[in-house]
Chain A
């Protein structure tokens, strides 16, 4: 599995999608390959896909440290921990100063699994921002 296989699959899905969404994928060059996946009409929160030796990582950036109401930071973190297990397929994490939701898949996942992962991650990220907005500026 590599990001180009995923990009080709998602870009040509069009009406054959099983999730009802359309995708627009752009590879980003760097020391390791990253695929920027945009779900049509949700371009503001893209998902970044990278592949390592044994897993496929899908990450959506939620908000930065600077967007949090500082006096509610601890409450926000507690709420995130409590929401972590109920949230399907995704988990919370922090990358540098950004909070993220991410999903890790086996390198042997099917393209359909990856599509479902991306859509679920996107739904989760929208719902999380919507639910957590009282902690954010």
Chain B
């Protein structure tokens, strides 16, 4: 089931009416079930892997012991031969043959366990990739459905409140106007604040007789007299 294509087909085909799901509820349930199954398989495979790894380690240990024992007995056989004790050497040789046969069995078991480990690890990786993929697809379905439901809730709300989403340019224009008004207010407030500071400084200067003085009757009279 290619979900991506299914979603595109459904959306293009107008399966966007309320109540019409992209993938019917049953498919979603089957999907969820597949995810749970995959998760279960991964858990089992991981447990198997642990068991096989334990067995492999045990076999490897036994193999090493057998090999050490073979070496040891080879030494004994040489000593018996050096002493000219042929019958004893034969007895030891029989023991060595038995040990070698055991070692061969363990060697085979060890290799088979190592193969199983590789196979299980590969299987787990594959299942994990598949699980990630299932989860991604389910997310796509669920998100598409959730956006559809949200959209229908939004449009119902707008229909109910008898308002509608504005034309984009008009909306932007209104927002800009509000922004401009806010900026103007801020500027006006700043100007007013600075004028106040200016004024108080002027007053102080005037009180100190510095700068332009207010026109008084006396100053007008003085000016006229000077003409």
Binding site for B on A (CB under 8 A): 28-32, 34, 36, 41-42, 44-45, 48, 50, 52-55, 57, 59, 61-64, 67, 95-96, 98, 126, 129-130, 133, 136-137
- Smallest beta-carbon distance A125→chain B, Å: 9
Known A-B contacts A36-B157, A41-B178, A57-B143; the reply to A129 vs B172 at CB < 8 A is: yes
28 A–B contacts from the bound complex (CB under 8 Å): A28-B153, A28-B154, A30-B156, A31-B153, A32-B146, A34-B157, A36-B154, A41-B182, A42-B178, A44-B166, A44-B170, A44-B172, A45-B172, A45-B175, A48-B150, A50-B147, A57-B143, A57-B146, A59-B147, A59-B150, A62-B168, A63-B167, A129-B168, A129-B171, A133-B169, A136-B168, A136-B169, A137-B169
A29→B156 CA distance, assembly (Å): 9
Q: Which parts of B160-196 form the interface with A (CB within 8 Å)?
A: 165-172, 174-175, 178-179, 182
Q: Flag if B16 contacts A32 (CB, 8 Å).
A: no
- Rounded to whole Å, the gap between the CB of B182 and the closest CB of chain A is 7
**What is the CB-to-nearest-CB distance from A46 to chain B, in angstroms, rounded to a whole number?**
9
In this assembly, does B95 line the interface, its C-beta being within 8 Å of a C-beta of chain A? no
Given contacts A30-B152, A129-B171, A133-B172, 10 further A-B contacts (CB under 8 A): A30-B153, A30-B156, A48-B150, A52-B146, A53-B142, A59-B147, A61-B165, A62-B168, A63-B168, A67-B168
Instruction: Report whether over half of chain A's contact residues are helix, strand or loop; otherwise say mixed.
Output: mixed
* Given contact pairs A28-B153, A30-B156, A44 touches B175 in the complex (Cβ within 8 A): yes
Which one of A32, A57, A126 has the greatest number of beta carbons of chain B within 10 Å? A32
In the bound complex, do residue A42 and residue B175 qualify as a contact, i.e. CB atoms below 8 Å apart?
A: yes
- A52 near B142 with CB under 8 A, answer yes
B30-70 residues at the A interface, CB under 8 angstroms: none
Chain A residues, Cβ within 8 Å of B152: 30-31
What is the size category of the interface that chain B forms with chain A?
Answer: 20 to 34
CB nearest to A98 among chain B residues: B165
A130 to B16, CA, bound (A): 30
Instruction: For A45, give the chain B residue with the smallest CB separation.
Output: B171
| Chain B: CB-nearest residue to A42 | B175
Q: Beyond A32-B146, A44-B174, is A67–B167 a contact (Cβ under 8 Å)?
A: yes
Q: Give the complex CA separation of A44 and B168 in angstroms.
A: 9
Question: Is there a chain A Cβ closer than 8 Å to B149's Cβ?
Answer: yes
Collect the chain B residues with CB atoms within 8 Å of residue A41's CB: 175, 178-179, 182
